Amino acid sequence: MRFDSIIIGGGLSGLISGIALARGGSKVALISAGGSALHFFSGSLELWHEGAMAMVPFCEKHPSHPYAKIDTARVERYTTIVKDIFARVGITLQGSSEQNHLRLTPLGALKPAWLTMEGYATFSLGGECDYHSVAVVGIEGYLDFYPEFIAESLSNRGLECGVYNVRLTTLGGLRESSTEMRAVQLSRALSGKTIEELARQIAEKIEDEEVVLLPAIFGLGDKDATKRIEAVVGRRVLVAPTVSASVAGVRVQKALMDEFQRLGGTVLNNDSATGCRIEEGKVVAIRTANLEDEELVAENYILATGSFFGRGLVATAEGVYEPVVGVDVVAPASREEWYSKDLLDAQPFERFGVATDNKFHPLLDGKPIENLYAIGALLAGADAVKEGCGGGIAVMSALRVVEEIEKRG
């Protein structure tokens, strides 16, 4: 099978690059081994913990950081493109590259964010919002949302908070089985009568709070669930992220995958790239686990396989390596240097990744492979946890590489 571009990895970076290339008229294939970091998505994309303005002096001092290679002058334009891609699949992202806002974590802390899905509770950088009181509502038996923690955190910020729990009787077997009471299963069950019951109970229980805050478990069953609850309770309904699997992330991944296919992209689902053939410094074909006898051929190849979490990087007793092409990895040989013993310190392994030139061509024995690109969490040099930059690097490196591929023609 022959394509203009083959993308390996169906997480955020692979999907954004696939959609952008397919929109430009390219014939694209995407090999997707399955779940990605999106399955734990908070509902917010992070750009940079200190805001976009602070990226400029940082990149001047750190030329090997992915953002320095993307060039911060592109951030505003790429923000518009990302918001547009999400808008076309029916997901509104709030926020801009001018200033971060704050989002809630599942335990109630506030964290800087760049773009947040509409419907999530957000706050200005100073921690303000346009309401004064909140009813935080949990669902009995659902263990991945902590109303008390969230209410305590919001109370400390001057909001009046009430904590309530509702008991849904229309969930059937799901309610009895605490192991199945996870966000994704619950979301699928939340439609029709169950939404009606939830809305009715909230309306009966809460006092005069202005806003109702619920766990982010809506969108896989009834897509208009929060609007229907709002209509019954007569108050604004917002959501907060949950621990464990993310309903929003599952929805985003499916919506972006559908959009890629709608644009003519080919998906090799539940398959994984197992190796490649390199001739005269170029990748000429990719092998996959499912297509034993056939190679996939393209002009360009994009590695969007993620970091350790996505298995784009693998660590063994011998070292850290990239398993598909075997390109150079930035990681010290000594395991002692991989991590800090203090859990709260920055962890060196977060910055491990594939070495690239300034156009994101991975290096093989120090030399760039001119028709291969690396994007997203696979890239070396960033610490997504400490720098709050995972989502931004995923989408911006994807768009930067698409620009490069389209320029080459």
> Does residue number 95 form part of the binding site for ligand FAD (CB under 6 A)?
no
Residue 380 engages ligand FAD in binding (rule: CB under 6 A):
no
Structural tokens at position 240: 């907060």
Site string for ligand FAD, 52-81 (x = CB under 6 A): ------------------------------
User: Is residue 8 part of the contact set for ligand FAD (CB under 6 A)?
Assistant: yes
Q: How far apart are CA 186 and CA 144, in angstroms?
A: 11
**End-to-end C-alpha distance for the chain, whole angstroms:** 20
The reply on whether position 391 binds ligand FAD by CB under 6 A is: yes
Contact between 135 and 209 under an 8 Å Cβ cutoff? The reply is yes
Tell me the C-alpha distance between 160 and 245, whole Å.
29
Q: Cα(203)–Cα(209) distance, rounded to whole angstroms?
A: 11
Q: What is the Cα–Cα distance from 183 to 243, expressed in whole angstroms?
A: 9
Residue with tokens 């972006």: 256
Of residues 95 and 310, the one with the C-beta less far from ligand FAD: 310
- By the rule CB under 6 A, 304 interacts with ligand FAD: yes
Cα dihedral 329, 250, 346, 373 in deg (nearest 10): 20
R_g of the chain, CA atoms, integer Å:
22
Task: Kindly tell me which of 32 and 300 has the beta carbon lying closer to ligand FAD.
Answer: 32
Q: Is 102 among the residues that bind ligand FAD (CB under 6 A)?
A: no
Binding mask 266-285 for ligand FAD (x = CB under 6 A): ------xx------------
Which among 98, 100, 83, 97 has a CA at the least distance from the CA of 49? 100
**Three-state secondary-structure class, residue 9:** coil
Among 26, 42, 194, 226, binds ligand FAD (CB under 6 A): 42
Among residues 33, 159, 163, 302, which is the contact residue for ligand FAD, using CB under 6 A?
33
* Cross-strand bridge partners of residue 356: 362
In the complex, what is the shortest distance from the CB of residue 325 to ligand FAD, in angstroms, rounded to a whole number? Answer: 10
312 binds ligand FAD (CB under 6 A): yes
384 is a site residue for ligand FAD (CB under 6 A)? yes
Q: What angle do CA 362, 368, 371 make, to 5 degrees?
A: 80
Among 6, 14, 301, 401, contact with ligand FAD (rule: CB under 6 A)? 14
Candidates 71-79, 125-133, 193-201, 390-398: pick the segment binding ligand FAD (CB under 6 A). 390-398
Residues at the contact surface with ligand FAD, assessed by CB under 6 A: 8-14, 31-38, 40-42, 44-46, 272-273, 304-306, 309-312, 324, 376-377, 384, 390-391, 394
